[in-house]
Structure 1
Amino acid sequence: MAARPSPLRAWLLCGTLDIAYAALWSIAAGGTVGGMLRGVAKGPFGDGAAGWGPGGAVAGLATHYAIMGAMVAAFVGFAPRWSARTGWPWWLTGTLYGLLLYLIMNAAVLPLRFGAPFPPADPVKGLVALFPHIAFVGLPLAWLYLRGDKQ
């Protein structure tokens, strides 16, 4: 089996894929990348971060990568052992990990911080939020770390 990549590379890959998706979705929805990033900053820094201008966008980007660091670290720490115990293929482990991340963010973190409803009233918004957790975090991590273990 080939050597596994560094967690730093996995963190940068998944974080960049996920934030690029969020940026494109924000633009497609009529918003701005800066506004989306300031919205992320509101999580830990409060509603005032929305008025911080470029500094709020930088704080949002830092927040995004900090959260992604925790997501990658949890996967790197536990998924290889979990995968070895279950015998699941990498793509199933990645899909389920992405679903778990979606549930943590959308059923716990966002409702507790912002009062966001779960499940979302609009199923399209739910899918828009679910997709990147699986496609840009769970599957890439599983592919990077588990694909050589079993096919």
Structure 2
Amino acid sequence: MNEASVPEPSTDQITKHALLAIAVGGLTAGTLDILQACILFGWDIPLSITAGLLGRKALQGGPGNYILGLLLHFFITFTFAAFYYASSRKLLFLKDHPLVCGLAYGAAVELVMQLIVLPLSALHATGPHDLHDLIQGLLVHMVVVGLPISYSLRRFAK
């Protein structure tokens, strides 16, 4: 059977594959990232995420603030997964080289969070940061965010 006789995937199939790649990548990255953050920094991390939206009063706690922090965290990881997928439609190497591109993307995610998202948040979190913290953040996000997103795209996107 030659390649000319292989049917092109339908728009519905492409959409299903895209959504699956984004869902698996976002869910896996989000789960690994929140778990590592809670293990390293404490189980109140979702409250800090909520405080980024609502301000310091969210740090007082409560189940609503905790759940909102988790929802915001997963919204962010799904958004990063969707951006990677959308970029891969034009930058084909993103799908072809998931190891290198995933590691680079994870580092880029960390930089976007540290240099744009956190300073613009209600907490206005800015440096100075210790070199150890910067390196740790880059390495962690390269592995737990970048790689799951890039490999889910490689596995599920068509």
Q: Percent of aligned positions with the same letter in both sequences?
A: 26
- The answer on 1:43 being equivalent to 2:52 is yes
- The answer on 1:96 being equivalent to 2:101 is no
Residue 148 of structure 2 is matched in structure 1 by: 140
- The answer on 1:55 being equivalent to 2:70 is no
Query: TM-score, length-normalised on structure 2?
Result: 0.75
* Count of residues in correspondence between the two structures: 138
CA separation of 1:88 and 1:45: change in aligned 2, threshold 3 A: same
Residue identity opposite 2:139 in structure 1: F
Residue identity opposite 1:13 in structure 2: T
Give the whole-Å Cα distance in 2 for the aligned partners of 1:8 and 1:88.
20
Residue 115 of structure 2 is matched in structure 1 by: 107
Query: TM-score, length-normalised on structure 1?
Result: 0.78
Instruction: Could you list the structure 1 runs, at least 4 aligned residues long, displaced by more than 6 angstroms after superposition.
Output: none
CA separation of 1:11 and 1:87: change in aligned 2, threshold 3 A: closer
Once the two structures are TM-superposed, the CA of residue 88 in structure 1 deviates from its matched residue by 6.5
* Bigger relative contact order, structure 1 or 2 (CA pairs below 8 A, ≥6 apart): 2
The gaps in structure 2 that reach 5 residues or longer are 1-13
- The answer on 1:17 being equivalent to 2:17 is no
On the 8 A contact 2:95/2:150 being kept in 1, the answer is no
Residue identity opposite 1:102 in structure 2: E
